[in-house]
Structures are given as structure tokens and as C-alpha cells.
Structure 1
């Protein structure tokens, strides 16, 4: 089968297409004919050799989230799953390939009315956005600042916070990204690529920090007493690193959601349901064929992307 291999850590060009052995479903597993694979910023970190949650020995087929159709089932798996549209995570390896073997218990059925590509786009980012929103619990009338508002998680947070009744301030870099945030319902937009960007933003009650670094620290300074800050990404390359003592002095809570497996599954299912009902729209900003996984990684790293980036494995 076709696959993309990582044989050494480095820049995007270390991702190389090639052949791989056909996987076979074992007990408790299913074989999925993969249609789409998602790409996350964490995967670009793993490829580069930077610290990441994913661990694997090289050579490896990278990739975590996939979506497709169940083509075969292993021993002990319900045969009615055959032909079902599903999305699932793979633990960080094996996703950039035509077929994947995964544990049946980790599957998510794609609801009727939801495209398989949209479901894949929601697999990681929908779970994260739902977890962040519930942890910070913005209330009607509160002001919420969403950093990286044109990214995969950020676009969903803009919509979820707006649906919760909050006034949404979307922070992103460049007019293209700000316009997308407006289309998704942001009440105010601000370009954090400009010096003194916080000067035009009134105090906020919640900060969703997807950038970290100087931008995350500047956003923290915008929080009013009783505010909450939850960090979900470090697009800058570092966390905001706000000391607990400094937050306490300001009367601000640094919210740290705990990734409970049962809750994480419910967050994913919630995002899929909301999208199927038309209340949540994943933004798929760019698509690349499987063989161009290196180009997809390069686009993400140069901040040239909006929303979610998908690999199209088969049509």
C-alpha cells in the first residue's frame, strides 16, 4: 500500500512517500480504508525531532487521526461494523497511509449528514475545543479572547464561545485570518502581529491561549479580576508560562483541564453531533494528496494555513 515514511528527524522534506506492508486486523481490531488523515501542529514537532507527546522508533509512518470505511474486522469484533464510516486516533503513528489497523474500541461512528472530511477535521480539534470551552465555562455577556482564532481549534472556539452567549474577540495574524474569524461570528478582531495590539482590546474575562510566548503573556494582562485563562497550544514555540503566584495576585485562574479518557471521548462525540446538526462548522483550509505530506507540514510551519489541514488519501 502507499504510505509516507519518516526515516530521520528534520524539516518537512524528510517525509517521503513509499510502499508499506499491508496491515491485517488482529483480535479486537479493525482495518480501515483511509480516505483522509488530519495533520496537527504536534505532528510537525514530532517530525522535526522536537519534544512532543508522540513517541516512536524510526523508521515510522507518522500520523494520528484518520477517517475512512471499515474494510475488515478481526476476531471478536462485531461484523456489523463492516462498511461503517469511522474516525479514530492511532496514537501518533500509522496515519499517513492507505490503510490502517486500529482498536475497535477507539472508533467513532460518523453521524449521518456529516462529511467524512469534516469528521476527520473535528477528531482532534473538536475534542480540544470542547474541552477548553467547558473548562473555562464562559457565561452569557462575558468577553472571551481567542488566540490563533483562524486555526483548527481557534475557529471552533470562536463558534462555541459565541454559541455560549459570550462576546468573542478573535486574535490572529493578518487580514485573511481576521476576515475568517469575522465570518465565523467574532464580534471584534485584532491582529496580534502588530506592535501594541493589546492597546485596542478592552478587558476580557476568558483567554483561550493557543499561541503561548509573548502573545500569551500579553493576553494574560488583558484579563479582568475573576478571569480565566486556559492554554491549549504553543504555536510560538513556548508556553506562556504564567506563574501561579502572579495569577493569584491578579485574581485570575489558570485553568488546566485534565484529559480524562471517558470525558475525552464524550468531547469528541459532542463535537461530531454539533457539526452534524449544523451548529458547528469545521474549517478545512487546505488539502494535500498523501504524497505531498511534506508540503502540508511546510505550510503549517510557515503559518500559511487557516483552519484544518487534511491529507486526501483516496477519493
Structure 2
């Protein structure tokens, strides 16, 4: 099979196409002929070497979600799965390939009307956005700010917050054009990257989902209402200042909360239930899959250059 490996940590040019043995499904695994791969910010962090401490090594094949057709199954899986169109979470890697083996508990059947590209755009990002809002104890009527809303998780968070009855859904983004696209997805206010620029926006927010982090994270504590919650869901802007907790403690009497969120803490069965619902909702047209571009597998390096340049609105998708 064809796959894309990280030859060496660093530049996107170190993503190279190689030939590897096609795996065989064992036990509860399914062998999937991949038709679409979702490209994520986590893939870029792994490629840069930023997550080497977590066991990612050079030679790794990135890609944590795929869609395609089941070719074969292990001896613990019902043969009726063969030939079915599916979405699958690969468990952290292996998706940048023409074939991948995935445990049955991480596989969902695709609705007939849903394309593989749309499936990998919604499947992973949507569930992260859903559980991040739950982690923030979001309630209908509350004002929400999504910081860094143009990425895959951000565009889903905007849609889900609006769909759930948020009193306001504000976003930070880098351009007026992106802001207008986010308005069409449910945003009610568009701010610049510092949280300014819309005189009609709420002066405070009950929930902030922060996909950026970086040195500016502490200034967003000032944008929380009393009892407000800021949840860091990503860190595409790097780590916050080491002393950012001092800003939070300086506002002790306002009862503000800061938390981090990773989908790794959510039981698989709960993730899969939400993913199934969201894939179905997308097939019905109730959620929008925002696909920035579809590239071929051997253009993985180009996809990562687009990520690194901040060009992507929604998700990039690779196809064999």
C-alpha cells in the first residue's frame, strides 16, 4: 500500500510517500480501503516534533480519522461489515495511507447521502466541539466566544453553540471574509484576534472556547462574565505564559474558571454516539461540513504548508 511517513521532524517537505505492506485485520479489526483522510492541527504538531514526548517518532504515519470501504474483517467481526462504507478513528495515526486496520469500536457506518470527505470533516472535529461545550457547562441563552474559529473544531463549535440556543456566538478570526463565512454558520459577532472590533458584541462571555492559547490567552480572562469559564481546546498559537494563572487569581472574586479539554478523556462509546448523531445530522443538512480543499495523498506536504501558513478555513482532506 501507499502511505505517507514523517521522514524527519520539521518542515512539511519531510512528509514522504512510501510503500508499506498492506496490513491484515486481526481479532476485532476491520481493513478499510481509505477514500478520505482528515488533516488536523494535531498532525502538524506531530510533524514538527512538538509531541515527541508523547511517543511519536520519526517514521510515523499521521492521520487519525478516515472514511472508506471495508475490505476484510478479523475473525471476531461479523462478515456483514465487508463492503460497507464507514468512518473510523484510527487511534492517533496511520490514516495517511491507502489502507488501514481499525478496531470495530472505533468504526461507524456512513449515512448513504454523506461523502467520505464530509465525513472526515465532521467526524472528529464535531465530537470535540460538542464535548468541549459540555466541559464548559454551557447552557442555552449563554454568550459564547470561540477564539480561533476558522479551523475544523472552531467551525463546528460555532454551529453547535448556535444550534443549542446560545444567546450570542462571537468569534475571533483573521479577516472580514472569514468572519462573514462564520456568520453564515451561526456566528452573531465577529471580533479581531484580540477580541475587539464589534461594538454590538457582548462585553462579557459566559463561555470561551480557546483553540489558540499562546501568549494572549490571559487577556481573555478579562472577557469573561462573573462565573465565566474559559476552556483551552487547542494550542495552535503555542503555550500560554508560564505565569498566566496570576491573571486568573487577580480576579479571584469574580469566580472565573480555567480548564483544558481533550477528547481522550471521553469514553469511546460516548464519542461514537455523538459522532453517529452528527454524521446523520450532516447528511440531513442540519450541520455543514466545511471542506477547505481536497488534495491527493502525495500532496500531504502541501496540505501541511497550508496549515502552517494559516490558510485553511475548515478542514483539509487527503484522498489516495
Pairwise same-fold verdict (TM > 0.5): yes
Number of the residue aligned with 2:249: 245
Q: Cα offset for 1:248?
A: 4.0
CA distance in 2: counterparts of 1:273 and 1:248, whole angstroms: 43
Contact 2:152 2:313 in 1 (8 A): yes
Number of the residue aligned with 1:308: 315
Q: How many pairs align?
A: 311
- For residue 266 of structure 2, the aligned residue among 260, 264, 268 is 260
CA distance in 2: counterparts of 1:36 and 1:247, whole angstroms: 46
Query: Which structure 2 residues correspond to residues 36-115 of structure 1 after superposition, within 5 A?
Result: 36-51=36-51, 55-115=55-115
SS at match of 2:32: strand
CA distance in 2: counterparts of 1:178 and 1:128, whole angstroms: 22
Q: Cα offset for 1:111?
A: 2.4
Instruction: Name whichever of 52-61 and 224-233 sits farther off.
Output: 52-61
TM-score using structure 1 length = 0.91
Is 1:222–2:223 an aligned residue pair?
yes
Q: Cα offset for 1:304?
A: 0.8
Number of the residue aligned with 1:294: 301
- For residue 274 of structure 1, the aligned residue among 281, 286, 301 is 281
CA distance in 1: counterparts of 2:177 and 2:53, whole angstroms: 31
Contact 2:118 2:289 in 1 (8 A): yes
- Which runs of no fewer than 5 residues in structure 2 stay unpaired? none
Number of the residue aligned with 2:213: 212
CA distance in 2: counterparts of 1:225 and 1:101, whole angstroms: 48
Q: Cα offset for 1:209?
A: 0.7
Q: Cα offset for 1:34?
A: 0.0
- Measured against aligned partners, the alpha-carbon deviations of 1:210-233 in whole angstroms (never above 9, x if no partner) come to 111234322221111021111101
Q: Cα offset for 1:54?
A: 5.7
CA distance in 2: counterparts of 1:245 and 1:22, whole angstroms: 54
TM-score using structure 2 length = 0.90
- Measured against aligned partners, the alpha-carbon deviations of 1:225-246 in whole angstroms (never above 9, x if no partner) come to 0211111011111147752635
CA distance in 2: counterparts of 1:263 and 1:87, whole angstroms: 16
Q: 1:119 to 1:49 in 2, by over 3 A?
A: same
Q: 1:4 to 1:269 in 2, by over 3 A?
A: same
Q: 1:250 to 1:3 in 2, by over 3 A?
A: same
CA distance in 1: counterparts of 2:207 and 2:47, whole angstroms: 33
CA distance in 1: counterparts of 2:260 and 2:252, whole angstroms: 15
SS at match of 1:221: helix
Is 1:170–2:171 an aligned residue pair?
yes
Contact 2:65 2:95 in 1 (8 A): yes
Contact 1:33 1:98 in 2 (8 A): yes
SS at match of 2:24: coil
- Which runs of no fewer than 5 residues in structure 1 stay unpaired? none
Contact 2:232 2:261 in 1 (8 A): no
CA distance in 2: counterparts of 1:100 and 1:298, whole angstroms: 25
CA distance in 1: counterparts of 2:209 and 2:141, whole angstroms: 16
SS at match of 1:197: coil
SS at match of 1:282: coil
Q: Cα offset for 1:52?
A: 6.1
CA distance in 2: counterparts of 1:55 and 1:10, whole angstroms: 16
CA RMSD of aligned residues (A): 2.2
CA distance in 1: counterparts of 2:160 and 2:173, whole angstroms: 17
SS at match of 2:206: strand
- Measured against aligned partners, the alpha-carbon deviations of 1:128-156 in whole angstroms (never above 9, x if no partner) come to 01101222243333221111111111111
